[in-house]
Structure 1
Amino acid sequence: MKKTRLLLPAALLAGSVAFGQVADSVIVKSIVKEATENSQLKNLAHELLDGIGPRLVGTPQMKQANDWAVAKYTSWGIAARNEKWGEWRGWERGVSHIDMVYPRVKTIEGMQLAWSPSTNGKTVTGETIILADVADSTAFQQWLPNVKGKFVMISMNQPTGRPDYNWEEFGTKESVEKMKKERAADQQAWASRMRKTGLNAKNLALALEKAGAAGVVTSNWSNGFGVNKIFGANTTKIPTIDIALEDYGMLFRLTESSIKPKISVRTDSKELGLVPTFNTLAEIKGTEKPNEYVMLSAHFDSWDGGTGATDNGTGTLVMMEAMRILKKIYPNPKRTILVGHWGSEEQGLNGSRAFVEDHPEIVANLQALFNQDNGTGRVVNLGGQGFLHSYEYLTRWLSKVPADIRTQIETRFPGSPGAGGSDFASFVAAGAPGFSISSTSWSYGNYTWHTNRDTYDKIVFDDVRSNAILAAILVYMACEDPKKISTEKSVLPPNPRTGEPGRWPAKTSPTRKGGVN
């Protein structure tokens, strides 16, 4: 049978467009009103960050957060579940206590690194010793017996505890230049010292452990007042602790001047064996095109120096608040709305990579994914991730966003596909339209990214609320769009280093059993 197309009068078509524009305006205004007058962001932040705390993969706090999110979504009438994607080394942080006991008594600011072995309920006391500057790897092996029973300091002593901006505000040009020159020389010398051991960071820690060291001491300063980055330990039997710049410098200088300071260390962490790891997923089912998807995305896990407030508590809060608002204002979307709270992003996008691998039917029918993961600031960047026609639909969707939010966003089309950095890249690698809504800094790199100061008080709630409004409107517009968007890829420019044709990022499988040898 021959198919015919119904031709509508121009006046009726115009009326339909006008009606759609009015409907959009009503929904957008309702989203803004709900986000502004009934914000749940502070309550959510308090419960997640103060109550549950950091969410290191493999810890009880990570699973507690997964269950909390499911319960919260359920209370809003949104279907949610935890989906297992792998296993990880289970570990739970305990009390860290570090004291200098000679030549005087002083409590030291510091903490054990993630997955550091405990001291088994004991306090271990020993002298500090600085990693030796030896001629080569053979000389290093000859020096190694010196570490027995001692805490080995393996980080450079910083020549200044003042961040550069403080020097540049108050210092003379000559003193600033002198400081930077001296620091660069120190960094070069320390890198040479490390290279001459013949070992990488992991093998160095294991060599010190095998030689009988009491523990490994680091100071991973983050170039700001009071901030250190807290990552994972490489030792398997002895504790690894990170000490604040100020106390580390004091111990380093005392050790260097042959005063032989002693520290006492107790770390009470627990090993929990292999534990299951999860993504938390929530869904508002579509009414007209339930098998096409619009996704919100943020990683749920964090490092555990602070409470993971801006990396990525704020991204999590944005997506939860957007889902809550959408369920209330737009409960019957045309397409299915999904949110993914990913596990183990910090170890290599593992949760989102697992989702992409496990759910090809969703990835193939993805209208768009919006991911946020770089701090508490308002969104100021949105790129097309290399999708050739991204300008057409992203610009159209953004046009409905209130001007005070939209005009601050710099766009780049078609842009380049992200190969990593955050979970949107897992989808881009599979050829699916994943987009990063990227925030302004608020000194993220120095002060909160992976640091001991990434806590609730660093959240700028006005900016987070703005981001929740943006995310909710983008999802609404993507759901309502009558067309399935094009995922045609742009031709990438040649690699400037090699001259070879640009290549789309390769799809990568997740690590599904992590933290084990």
Structure 2
Amino acid sequence: MKNTHTLSRFLRAKNIAILLAVPVLFVAGTASAQIKDPIVDNIVKEGTDNSQLVTLAHQLFDGIGPRLVGTPQMEQAGQWALQKYKEYGITARYEKWGDWRGWERGISHIDMVTPRVKSLEGTQLAWSPGMKKAVTAETIILPEFADSIAFQKWLPAAKGKFVMISMNQPTGRPDYNWTEFGTKESFDKLKADRAAQTDAWRKRISNTGLTARTLPVALEKAGAAGIITSNWSAGFGVDKIFGAYTKKVPTVDIALEDYGMLYRLTEKGEKPTIKILAESKELGAVPTFNIIGEIKGSEKPDEYVMLSAHFDSWDGGQGATDNGTGTLTMMEAMRILKKIYPNPKRTILVGHWGSEEQGLNGSRAFVEDHPEIVANLQALFNQDNGTGRVVNIAGQGFLNSYDYITRWLSKVPAGIRDQITTNFPGAPGGGGSDFASFVAVGAPGFSLSSNSWSYGNYTWHTNRDTYDKIVFDDVRNNAILTAILVYMACEDPAKTSRDRIVLPINTKTGEPTKWPAQVKANRHGGFE
């Protein structure tokens, strides 16, 4: 395990003294790793020789698919998880905490019909309104405007047209491809041209007096046939797929390659027409929920160690790495623990959170609804940034996190532990994933952060977040790591300290930086 233990000059003197003593604890912890622990050995053996990850991945990603909040697939996935935990002999429950706009994706067809016929790669955005029949119309590009008055004068021209509102990217090659094969001069020129083009397009949008969120609504009200976007993710063939803002006409994302072709044809005055059929169903308000699994503690049942991963996803792909692999890590760790460590000293809980993608809503609701668990939480381990092996654990601003996390990590096999860089005490996470919901109320929640596997470009919220991107060896290691950390946290005779670091002064305000504030869950979403 690599250590980048950093000291803040803003810490109180007594805090500094404590932290300076920590490396001694680490040395002792490392030495203790040499003592064989049959529970750890059996966790490793079970996770290695009897892994259920491939089966779980097939059932969840191929069989059920993405898990957009409010969809039948999210509900189906919840029932599937309950059944799996039943098979493992683990008590699990469905906790409803609110409702959301229900929506079900249907068939989508996007075809260019003139000047030639070509089926286009594209996806209707989540919550895009359903179409009863296909619509064929000409494409137009959002023009440049001097100001919002000029935009308002132009707006009637959008009637009956598919309006393209995304910039035409100058290249579909990711930057690493240019770095590998291009000359420095050509790449520098591309970057300069792209930056200028991006600034110009940003100004084009802002001169309408609207935003990326309100512009589609204005075009819809003006009678546009639909909205065409291309939200390129800076990787080969990859687009981000989020939600629609229109209520009556379709919003579709067309992949960069086909969007660029349409853009050029339109720009050159060839007036291409496209035909769109994007079916979907509105389902009204449907339950939002968390799935909570539990292995009851034998000695300290009212103290808790939690596993954590959000269950929902966007639905451009299968939600495989965001956060399907985190989900499978926690399910597999729970299965292993139930088999190898069925009578933990503390109660083990797992939280599969709903509506993380809309603002950590499931975990925020749990924190609000279960103060008795939060108050007695020994530690929470969350994983949510792709399929890669865990390579970083930070202390989230908890002063003594170095002590206990280092001791727990000491029992992890060197082949897994040595990949991990630690940062203590770190700074409290204010968002990003569900551990932050617990940190905000002073409970020790930690992120098991994975290495990239080009997560940001290729699978985070994209149309390529699919089964084939899973690296099962890494996920297997993560499940073993999580199970050992949970076992160690359960066995630790001491309750974890919640002492916080003294945060540095905000250089802009001159005031001390504040610990992240608790944010309430949105318990009735998607209708705005």
TM range (shorter): over 0.9
C-alpha deviation, 1:497, in angstroms: 3.2
C-alpha deviation, 1:24, in angstroms: 6.3
C-alpha deviation, 1:499, in angstroms: 2.8
Select which of 47, 55, 60 maps to 1:35. 47
Alpha-carbon distance in structure 1 between the residues aligned to 2:283 and 2:93: 24
Alpha-carbon distance in structure 1 between the residues aligned to 2:486 and 2:34: 18
- Which residue in 1 is equivalent to 2:136? 125
C-alpha deviation, 1:496, in angstroms: 3.4
Alpha-carbon distance in structure 2 between the residues aligned to 1:24 and 1:68: 37
Q: Alpha-carbon deviations, 1:145-172, whole Å to 9, x = none?
A: 0010000000000001111111111111
What is the identity, as a one-letter code, of the residue corresponding to 2:163? V
Matched, 1:489 2:484: no
Alpha-carbon distance in structure 1 between the residues aligned to 2:153 and 2:64: 47
Q: Are the counterparts in 1 of residues 172 and 257 from structure 2 also a CA contact under 8 Å?
A: yes
Matched, 1:277 2:288: yes
Matched, 1:303 2:314: yes
Matched, 1:110 2:122: yes
TM-score by length of 1: 0.95
What is the identity, as a one-letter code, of the residue corresponding to 2:516? P
Q: Are the counterparts in 1 of residues 438 and 445 from structure 2 also a CA contact under 8 Å?
A: yes
- Which residue in 2 is equivalent to 1:265? 276
Matches within 5 A, 1:134-283: 134-283=145-294
- What SS does the corresponding residue of 2:488 show, helix, strand or coil? helix
Q: Alpha-carbon deviations, 1:351-407, whole Å to 9, x = none?
A: 000000000000000000000000000000000000010001000000000001111
What is the identity, as a one-letter code, of the residue corresponding to 2:346? R
Alpha-carbon distance in structure 1 between the residues aligned to 2:508 and 2:356: 29
- Which residue in 2 is equivalent to 1:55? 67
C-alpha deviation, 1:21, in angstroms: 8.2
Q: Are the counterparts in 1 of residues 142 and 164 from structure 2 also a CA contact under 8 Å?
A: yes
- What SS does the corresponding residue of 1:177 show, helix, strand or coil? helix
- Which residue in 2 is equivalent to 1:375? 386
Q: Are the counterparts in 1 of residues 140 and 164 from structure 2 also a CA contact under 8 Å?
A: yes
Alpha-carbon distance in structure 2 between the residues aligned to 1:119 and 1:383: 48
Matched, 1:318 2:329: yes
Matches within 5 A, 1:64-103: 64-103=76-115
Alpha-carbon distance in structure 1 between the residues aligned to 2:33 and 2:469: 38
What is the identity, as a one-letter code, of the residue corresponding to 1:26? P
Matched, 1:25 2:40: no
- Which residue in 1 is equivalent to 2:56? 44
Alpha-carbon distance in structure 1 between the residues aligned to 2:222 and 2:214: 12
Matched, 1:361 2:372: yes
Alpha-carbon distance in structure 2 between the residues aligned to 1:118 and 1:239: 7
- Which residue in 1 is equivalent to 2:14? none
Alpha-carbon distance in structure 2 between the residues aligned to 1:504 and 1:496: 16
Mean Cα deviation higher: 198-207 or 450-459: 198-207
- Which residue in 2 is equivalent to 1:11? none
Alpha-carbon distance in structure 1 between the residues aligned to 2:330 and 2:338: 12
- What SS does the corresponding residue of 1:269 show, helix, strand or coil? strand
Matched, 1:346 2:325: no
C-alpha deviation, 1:95, in angstroms: 0.7
Q: Alpha-carbon deviations, 1:10-39, whole Å to 9, x = none?
A: xxxxxxx9xx98996111100000001000
Shift in alpha-carbon separation, 1:419–1:118, aligned structure 2, 3 A: same
What is the identity, as a one-letter code, of the residue corresponding to 2:170? P
What is the identity, as a one-letter code, of the residue corresponding to 1:444? Y
- What SS does the corresponding residue of 1:268 show, helix, strand or coil? strand
Mean Cα deviation higher: 170-179 or 487-496: 487-496
Shift in alpha-carbon separation, 1:316–1:472, aligned structure 2, 3 A: same
Give me the identity figure in percent. 75
What is the identity, as a one-letter code, of the residue corresponding to 1:354? A
Q: Alpha-carbon deviations, 1:60-82, whole Å to 9, x = none?
A: 00000000000000011000011
Q: Alpha-carbon deviations, 1:295-326, whole Å to 9, x = none?
A: 00000000000000000000000000000000
Alpha-carbon distance in structure 1 between the residues aligned to 2:205 and 2:217: 14
Alpha-carbon distance in structure 1 between the residues aligned to 2:247 and 2:521: 24
- Which residue in 2 is equivalent to 1:420? 431
Over the residues paired in the alignment, what is the CA RMSD in angstroms?
1.2
- Which residue in 2 is equivalent to 1:477? 488
What is the identity, as a one-letter code, of the residue corresponding to 1:504? W
What is the identity, as a one-letter code, of the residue corresponding to 1:156? M
C-alpha deviation, 1:498, in angstroms: 2.8
Q: Are the counterparts in 1 of residues 33 and 411 from structure 2 also a CA contact under 8 Å?
A: no
Shift in alpha-carbon separation, 1:412–1:281, aligned structure 2, 3 A: same
Q: Are the counterparts in 1 of residues 70 and 101 from structure 2 also a CA contact under 8 Å?
A: yes
What is the identity, as a one-letter code, of the residue corresponding to 2:91? A
| Structure 2 unmatched runs, 5+ | 1-28
Q: Are the counterparts in 1 of residues 128 and 244 from structure 2 also a CA contact under 8 Å?
A: yes
Alpha-carbon distance in structure 1 between the residues aligned to 2:497 and 2:134: 62
C-alpha deviation, 1:200, in angstroms: 1.4
Alpha-carbon distance in structure 1 between the residues aligned to 2:397 and 2:182: 44
Q: Alpha-carbon deviations, 1:60-109, whole Å to 9, x = none?
A: 00000000000000011000011001100000001110000011100010
Select which of 512, 515, 521 maps to 1:504. 515
- What SS does the corresponding residue of 1:202 show, helix, strand or coil? coil
Alpha-carbon distance in structure 2 between the residues aligned to 1:320 and 1:178: 49
What is the identity, as a one-letter code, of the residue corresponding to 1:180? K
Alpha-carbon distance in structure 2 between the residues aligned to 1:348 and 1:123: 34
Matched, 1:287 2:279: no
- What SS does the corresponding residue of 2:70 show, helix, strand or coil? coil
- Which residue in 2 is equivalent to 1:4? none
Q: Are the counterparts in 1 of residues 33 and 410 from structure 2 also a CA contact under 8 Å?
A: no
Shift in alpha-carbon separation, 1:22–1:156, aligned structure 2, 3 A: closer
Alpha-carbon distance in structure 1 between the residues aligned to 2:351 and 2:145: 50
Alpha-carbon distance in structure 2 between the residues aligned to 1:333 and 1:486: 20
- Which residue in 2 is equivalent to 1:7? none
What is the identity, as a one-letter code, of the residue corresponding to 1:63? E
Shift in alpha-carbon separation, 1:92–1:80, aligned structure 2, 3 A: same
C-alpha deviation, 1:118, in angstroms: 1.3
Structure with the larger RCO, 1 or 2 (CA within 8 Å, 6+ apart): 2
What is the identity, as a one-letter code, of the residue corresponding to 1:430? V
Alpha-carbon distance in structure 1 between the residues aligned to 2:296 and 2:406: 26
